[in-house]
Amino acid sequence: MFVLSAARLHPYTRQKIAHERETVKLYETLAAYIASQIAQGVIREGEKIPSVRQTSQHHNLSVSTVIRAFLLLESQGLIESRPQSGYFVRRKPAMQAAGAAGEPLAPAELARGATLDTSEFVLTTLRSINQGSVPLGSPYPDPAVFPWARLNQYANSLARRVGQMGMTADLPPGNPELIRQIARRHLENGLPVDASEIIVTTGATEALNLCLQAVAPPGSVIAVESPTYYALIQAIERMGMQVLEIDTDPVQGIDLAALERAIVENGVAACMVMPNFQNPLGFQMSDERKRAMVALLARHDVPVIENDVYHELYYGDVHPTSLKNYDTQGLVLHCNSFSKTLSPANRIGWALPGRYRAQVEKLKFLNTLNTPALPQLAIAEYLQNDGYDYHLRKVRKAYAQQASIMASAVRRFFPAGTSVSTPAGGYVLWVNLPDGVRALELYARAQERGISVGAGNIFATGDAFQHCIRLNYSYRWTPEVEAAVRTLGLLAGELVGHPAGST
């Protein structure tokens, strides 16, 4: 066999071959880069990509190298050439975009993994919703119910004035007019508060985190309801504290006897609870049990952080009380926000930290310095001038109707042995599935069909709720939503008696 030695080649020929090899590497590298931009959504389906000449100039490559990269991408089905127009990102077939069988979406792959990272799980679920999944697994309410136009009008008219206020206008504790409006709102709802106790925060999440930092050092034991909202578990663990889960009844709420035993035996430093329309169970603690819980904690001098973000979303005729109503020793740190009722985008919350007020205000300043003034003022203007109560009545009526429809649909479409919660407010339904139906496997199969659900595993530290899911019913009931619930029921039926991994 004849072998051509490089040493015998003419220098020009060797240079040409080296150039061609380098060119191959360059055009493949460029194609891979453009493909990654498409995969990340920087360049979306149907959008035009930079022209050959622009790409050549931006990447300092020859026109021929760029053309070869574009041809490679075209052969891979990522882009297409349109005469007289250039190259565009090719649209995917509908089944592929929604997650065809055999090509699971990233969330489905995550759910089937060996371990479950709750933060990554929630984030990938939200991304799948942004990409078009039916949002039954969303933790957020339907954005269509919020008065965006009015809030934007106030924000636009206030923008110039806010710009002239300077950097100190939005320092803790927050905008005085918003604080006044919050205090008035509490007063109207039966909770007289001292306005000087209120600290405005960037959403309820910051309020909860600040209060947790204020009441306990790292290593402390924090008692929570079980199941509970996953963000509370994450906050506790992120601060180096220990989560202690207390059994919680779907009607009555946290087991007070078990809580007292935990305080005595485990040295509980604080509690974090949701007494009104708890996420995910949806119950409302009775006034008697709220009073008893506050009295119990007072006997042991244990603070409680009250997450009351669903407080205004009640279905009954009477506004619910809070733990704060029964607090006489400053042990209840009440956290709330407008994100679930008025505007999630503005991220405005507040805390009533009781005896821990000074620590919370200091931590607010050290952690985030301030809360932006413009959204504070816009919400204050809305509360003063618009029909907040009228808006809330419409939302409550819609959610109550949709809760009934969703519960009926689950009973109709899901297999025998399924049971559902009875929410007294809020917008989530807790579903107990029959034996054999693993929530993570149902989640994965649903994702493959463009449907998101909240797997029960993320609402506890162990596997106690691996047969449960949480469904969001805040979105308007449509044929698409009904079809998604029906599909979930069929998938659950297929899994009965066939646990994940069985054949």
Q: Is the dihedral of CA 162, 167, 168, 173 positive or negative?
A: positive
How many Å apart are CA 107 and CA 130, to the nearest integer? 13
The rounded mean pLDDT for the chain is: 88
Residue type, 48: K
Longest dimension (CA), the chain: 97
Could you tell me the domains of the chain?
6-91 (1.10.10.10), 98-144+390-495 (3.90.1150.10), 166-386 (3.40.640.10)
Burial degree of 203 (CB within 10 A; 0-12, 13-18, 19+): buried
Question: For residue 179, how far is the Cα from the chain centroid?
Answer: 26
Helices (H) and strands (E) in the chain, counts: 17, 14
User: Is residue 294 within 8 Å of 326, Cβ to Cβ?
Assistant: yes
- What pLDDT, in 10s, does the model give residues 304-357? 999 999 999 999 999 999 999 999 999 999 999 999 999 888 899 999 999 999
Measure CA 215 to chain center: 25
Q: With the CA atoms of 259, 206, 350 and 140 taken in that order, what torsion angle do they form, in degrees rounded to the nearest 10?
A: -90
- CB-based burial label for 53 (10 Å; 0-12, 13-18, 19+): exposed
What the block records as the tokens of 361 is 């205000």
Query: % helix / strand / coil in the chain, to the nearest 5?
Result: 50, 15, 35
Cβ-contact 55, 46 below 8 angstroms: no
In contact, 254 and 293? CB cutoff 8 Å = yes
The residue assigned the tokens 């998604």 is 484
pLDDT (tens place) for every residue of the chain, 503 residues total: 333 344 444 555 455 445 545 545 788 889 889 988 888 888 988 899 999 989 988 888 888 888 888 988 888 889 988 887 889 998 875 434 444 333 444 556 666 665 678 888 888 888 888 888 999 999 999 999 999 999 999 888 888 776 665 555 578 999 999 999 999 999 999 999 999 999 999 999 999 999 999 999 999 999 999 999 999 999 999 999 999 999 999 999 999 999 999 999 999 999 999 999 999 999 999 999 999 999 999 999 999 999 999 999 999 999 999 999 999 999 999 999 999 999 888 899 999 999 999 999 999 999 998 898 899 999 999 999 989 999 999 999 999 999 999 999 999 999 999 999 999 999 999 999 998 899 999 999 999 999 999 999 999 999 999 999 999 999 999 999 999 999 999 999 999 865 444 43
Q: Report pLDDT for 15.
A: 56
Residue matched to tokens 């279905």: 315
pLDDT tens, 432-491?
999 889 999 999 999 999 999 999 999 999 999 999 999 999 999 999 999 999 999 999
Helix (H, G, I), strand (E, B) or coil at 306: strand
**What pLDDT is stored for residue 10 in this prediction?**
53
β strands within 49-205, DSSP E: 79-82, 86-89, 199-201
- Gap between the Cα atoms of 263 and 266, Å rounded: 6
